[in-house]
Structure 1
């Protein structure tokens, strides 16, 4: 496998499995920490969901993902186009990457792992940039969910 084909991050969360699962799979909670306006929306396997990004600097972008699998308390995955932020570009012609969140018990908390794979299929012209931006993005998002689930967070 090509070294640039996948991004993998993990974080140990000081929260219950149920709290982590809900933060991932309840669309409104996901939107709260991820930076997407998902009020009143639900994640349903096989369905595509779209909503405006609320993250500063990316408010012009519509987040679009096709929910792949929701295995209760274990795995949540979706397909999306990485770093699809340019206005007027139709990313639907590209092959999306797969984002998989898995959770497992790891005393004293829950280990959350995210793997985004399929960068080899992103058009070469934007592959490196998408990989680099999403590598940074996942670092930040792991911090975001950690803060969101911490006792001092908004929960």
Structure 2
């Protein structure tokens, strides 16, 4: 098993549009299907409720690490944990959104790493579920920014 999930897609949208879809908490919530309580801020925990059908029992808690204008957005989270007392200092993975402008729009690369820090048997399940999840989320952001 790999320690990271990596998905890359080219979007037919300018980098500023993709950046806004990633870092504006309301826009992020619209395509990611999560109702976030507050805007993303570096060094702060983002909270909310997942609204994705079948996953509404999950809470959202992520610690925002970086927001480098129109290039990199990162946060750590505890994959698929439904407990609203999630500890963000252990058993977390790092999610990175890298943006690169192209002649036709924007290349978006999403990498989630750190699965080796998770304990068994959660590690394999989290990796498998999040691999499927990022495939779906890449479709969601594509539809969202191209609407």
| TM-score of the two chains, using structure 2 as the length reference | 0.94
C-alpha deviations, 1:22-66, integer Å up to 9, x for none?
000001000000010126x20000000110111011111111100
From 35, 38, 41, the counterpart of 1:37: 35
From 23, 26, 32, the counterpart of 1:25: 23
Aligned partners of 2:29, 2:22: CA distance in 1, in Å? 9
Aligned partners of 2:16, 2:84: CA distance in 1, in Å? 38
CA apart distance, 1:89: 8.0
Counterpart check, 1:104 vs 2:94: no
Aligned partners of 1:89, 1:49: CA distance in 2, in Å? 12
Aligned partners of 1:89, 1:50: CA distance in 2, in Å? 9
> What SS does the corresponding residue of 1:124 show, helix, strand or coil?
coil
What residue is the counterpart of 1:144 in the other structure? 140
Aligned partners of 1:25, 1:65: CA distance in 2, in Å? 13
Check whether the contact 2:32–2:140 (CA below 8 A) recurs between aligned residues. Answer: yes
Aligned partners of 2:84, 2:124: CA distance in 1, in Å? 18
Where is the strand percentage greater, Structure 1 or Structure 2?
2
What residue is the counterpart of 2:51 in the other structure? 54
Q: CA RMSD in A?
A: 1.5
Aligned partners of 2:141, 2:64: CA distance in 1, in Å? 19
Q: Any unmatched runs of 5+ in structure 1?
A: none
Distance 1:4 1:90, change over 3 A: farther
Aligned residues: 146
Aligned partners of 1:13, 1:125: CA distance in 2, in Å? 35
Aligned partners of 1:121, 1:107: CA distance in 2, in Å? 38
Q: Any unmatched runs of 5+ in structure 2?
A: none
